[in-house]
Amino acid sequence: MNAMGRQGQRSGAPAAHHQRQHSDNFLDSSSSNGRWLQSAGLQHLHSSSNPSIPPPKDYGYYGGGQGSRMYKNSQRNVNGGSEFFTEPSTPPVNPLSVSRRKNSQDLESPNGFSPGLLDLHSFDTELLPEVSVPGLCDAPSFYLSARGRSFDDSETYFVNNKQTGRVRAAAPENNVLKSFAADKDKASNVAKIKVVVRKRPLNKKELTKNEEDIITIEPHSGSLAVHETKLKVDLTEYVENHEFVFDAVLNEEVSNDEVYRETVEPIVPIIFQRTKATCFAYGQTGSGKTYTMKPLPLKASRDILRLMHHTYRNQGFQLFFSFFEIYGGKLFDLLSDRKKLCMREDGKQQVCIVGLQEYKVSDVETIKELIERGNASRSTGTTGANEESSRSHAILQLAVKRLADGGETKPPRVVGKLSFIDLAGSERGADTTDNDKQTRMEGAEINKSLLALKECIRALDNDQGHIPFRGSKLTEVLRDSFVGDSRTVMISCISPNAGSCEHTLNTLRYADRVKSLSKGNNSKKDILSSTLNLKESTTIPLSGMTYEDDIADSWPENTDQEEFDDSEEFQEPEKPLWKKNGKVEAYEISNSEDKMRRTNGQTKWKDPPKFETKNSHADDDMNALLKEEEDLVNAHRKLVEETMDIVREEMSLLVEADQPGNELDNYVSRLNVILSQKAAGILKLQNRLAHFQRCLKQHNVLVSSSGY
């Protein structure tokens, strides 16, 4: 049945009344009721939290008929599917069309890659003096009012087209230069975390199946609604509206250029100011993560190079490129024949990826080539929802480095870093069409890392002293995104079709949790990060490492930062990968850091602690427990939602019971159904709770140490 038909059937009251009702409730989302429900992750129930208010029955949501389903359907017909997937500004590389494993010979051939240099402490920016910004005061002040606003600003930083939700695309060529020069303080005011949602258009398959678009986007207010069709106990349908507000919401018409301008462009200038920034896409398989992420690094590189060649000309800045993936809990270099990599922390708990090949790049063409090579090496497969699905988390890093005073004789030091992370689909483990063992294992691993990411976010959100970054390789890599002088942009990708409703709601709830991180006091999180460093320095080695890895890597005995800060330690040249005109062209980050320290007669690495195996089991246990907890909370939330529905049903039953001539039989049988439903729901949750309690008991030691 089409939306119009259903709407006609459902509407018991004039549509105008409902429209007002919804938008009032929505606008009232800051009320205590709204906050109360939001705090329980049930904000979507706000509009119907008062059982005396009839349930929402139509989509007349944002007023003026624009948010109605009728409107959306007609919009869809205009798009008709012919525009679908026509826009990639960077044509997607088909990994299957390119040989998956490039040999290193091929990769290292000197075809334009400029010299690269070793950087052991690739995340260490402490020793660098602050970058002076030439011409800062000359900045045209009009620019600030037009573009380059910080994420915190209450006004949108670009102008939206009110009809289409399209972001105005009229940016001047050198806007990054201008926005950077505009105001250094403004740039450093860019919010620590920005959460953006992007909705993709319905695809051909969904259109063929006549699937409904259930997402309404209101770009001006950053709000979005998911219209979920549900069944009452008497099997009649009704629609529940779930409302969310984010830093920005981008509808299906927004181009990749516009996505870039909204997400990454504002953070590019501050990479030159000792900032580590991360942009990642999150969402179910086939929701558009890769499509969204793919063009961003190239656009960012272009802007970074422009800054280097203009604003910072002759100031010793260099751009380095690396690309790796996390697959099955292990790291692989996508630019080096999928060489296995190893992650390590230095004395300051800074992450260092040993063996990762970095390329010094100075032109966009080379970067494009590297991106294509990396993408071709990615692990992909087919899921029910996406024929070319990413099975891994891919991490592409652009590091801005600067030559030290000694010029080319010393390795340049990192000034800032921009990381792009294309996460694997958020529900891969639950994909029912994935039934071979390998795929299931991949799914489990992906879920583990996404769960760990969520737990880190939750821990930061709840001001917990311990942030479980070690829960997965992904969170270890991402750690820098959340602590210290860092910026994070999360792009939540959602599918519009009704069949994806549950996954979409999960993605949006996840995004909502990340968003709440940015609400609080940032300094609070910085304090947290120092607590974290203290705690982490005394905890166990990286989970998921093999025993061999552990023996080879060992662990820092001494975390005295001063000793590790000594830049003289970095003079030993790294293993050159290839040479051009007698100059080293590319280097790999190796474990010579260990050797240096040992040969200095000051061994700072010790044998693996004896309790290591036990602790890596403990990590697994903790992950399992976290998963149990997650499931319990979700089940509880679901029961509350169902209870609300049942209460509504009861209210109308009572109203009917009071009507003259009401049939007692009908009342009795419906009440019976309602009560059985309630009892079944409670019983199910009780069983789950009992199971969780048993798990807690089983892992008693863990429970006390992880603060349960």
Ligand X SMILES: Nc1ncnc2c1ncn2[C@@H]1O[C@H](COP(=O)(O)OP(=O)(O)OP(=O)(O)O)[C@@H](O)[C@H]1O
**According to CB under 6 A, which residues from 49 to 88 bind ligand X?**
85, 87
Residue nearest to ligand X (CB): 288
Contact string 239-278 vs ligand X (x = CB under 6 A): ----------------------------------------
Does 497 engage in binding with ligand X (CB under 6 A)?
Answer: no
Min dist CB 503 to ligand X, Å, is 11
Q: Report how far residue 44's alpha carbon sits from residue 231's, in angstroms, rounded to the nearest whole number.
A: 17
Is residue 291 involved in binding ligand X (CB under 6 A)? yes
What residues from 539 to 598 belong to the interface with ligand X (CB under 6 A)?
A: none
Name the strand (E) or helix (H) holding 563.
helix 561-565
Which amino acid makes up residue 36? W
Torsion-angle region of residue 165: left (phi > 0), alpha (psi -120 to 50) or beta? left
Stretch that binds ligand X, among 70-78, 285-293, 429-437, 581-589 (CB under 6 A): 285-293
User: Measuring CA to CA, which residue among 534, 532, 529 is closest to residue 485?
Assistant: 529
**Region near ligand X per CB under 6 A, out of 146-154, 174-182, 286-294, 640-648:** 286-294
Site membership for ligand X, residue 298 (CB under 6 A): no
Name residues contacting ligand X, limited to 299-338 (CB under 6 A): none
Shortest Å distance, C-beta 493 to ligand X = 6
Closest CA to 421 of 455, 390, 397: 397
Is 178 annotated in a binding site? The answer is no
Is the CB of 195 or the CB of 424 nearer to ligand X? 424
The b-or-e profile of 665-701 (16+ CB within 10 A means b, else e) is eeeeebeeebeebbeebeeebeebeeebeebeeebee
In the list 186, 289, 448, 597, the residue contacting ligand X (rule: CB under 6 A) is 289
Q: Which stretch binds ligand X (CB under 6 A): 34-42, 281-289, 602-610, 618-626?
A: 281-289
- C-alpha span between 508 and 494 (Å, rounded): 8
Among 47, 48, 287, 507, binds ligand X (CB under 6 A): 287
- In what helix (H) or strand (E) does residue 351 lie, and over which residues does it extend? strand 351-354
Which one, 178 or 391, has the nearer CB to ligand X?
Answer: 391
Out of 48, 311, 377, 390, name the contact with ligand X by CB under 6 A. 390
Find, among 318, 424, 392, 397, the residue nearest to 362 by Cα: 318
507 binds ligand X (CB under 6 A): no
554 to 322, 547, 550: CA distances (angstroms): 25, 10, 6
Say whether 288 counts as a known binding-site residue.
Answer: yes
Contacts (CB under 6 A) with ligand X, residues 193-222 = 200-201, 203
Distance of CA 1 to CAs 9, 13, 68, 227, 429, Å?
10, 20, 16, 16, 32
* Residue 205 buriedness (CB in 10 A; 0-12 / 13-18 / 19+): exposed
Min dist. Cβ of residue 426 to ligand X (A) = 8
Q: Crossing angle of helices 612-658/664-698, nearest 10°? A: 170
Among 290, 439, 449, 481, binds ligand X (CB under 6 A): 290
**Which H helix or E strand runs over 231?**
strand 223-231
> Rule CB under 6 A: is residue 285 a binding residue for ligand X?
yes
Shortest reach from residue 454's CB to ligand X, in Å = 17
94 is a site residue for ligand X (CB under 6 A): no
Q: Which three-class secondary structure string do you get for 643-695?
A: HHHHHHHHHHHHHHHHCCCCCHHHHHHHHHHHHHHHHHHHHHHHHHHHHHHHH
**What's the min distance (Å) between Cβ of 94 and ligand X?**
10
Min dist. Cβ of residue 578 to ligand X (A): 33
Residue 708 contacts ligand X per CB under 6 A: no
Q: Is 420 in the site for ligand X (CB under 6 A)?
A: no
Tell me whether residue 239 or residue 254 sits nearer to ligand X (CB atom): 254
Q: Can you tell me the distance from the alpha carbon of 445 to that of 645, in angstroms, rounded to the nearest whole number? A: 35
Query: Between residues 241 and 377, which has the closer beta carbon with respect to ligand X?
Result: 377
Q: Segment 421-480, which members bind ligand X (CB under 6 A)?
A: 424-425
- Indicate the residue among 392 and 615 with the shorter CB distance to ligand X: 392
Scanning 23-31, 287-295, 449-457, 582-590 for contacts with ligand X by CB under 6 A, the matching segment is: 287-295
How many residues form the binding site for ligand X (CB under 6 A)? 21
What is the token pair recorded at 379?
Answer: 């692990």
Burial 67-87 (b: 16+ CB within 10 A, else e): bbbebbbeebeebeeeebeee
Could you say which residues in the range 360-389 bind ligand X, by CB under 6 A?
Answer: 383, 386, 388-389
Token pair 């009440």 is found at 671
CB of 174 to ligand X, least distance (A): 27
Q: Name which of 488, 492, 475, 491 is nearest 517 in CA terms.
A: 488
Determine which helix (DSSP H) or strand (DSSP E) holds 547, and give its type and residue range: helix 547-553
89 is in an annotated binding site: no
135 labeled part of a ligand binding site: no
Report the DSSP pairing between strands 486-494 and 193-199.
parallel
How far apart are CB 436 and ligand X at their closest, in Å? 16
Least Å distance, CB 526 to ligand X, is 32
Residues that bind ligand X (CB under 6 A): 85, 87, 200-201, 203, 283, 285-291, 383, 386, 388-390, 424-425, 493
Which residue ranges make up the annotated binding site for ATP? Answer: 283-290
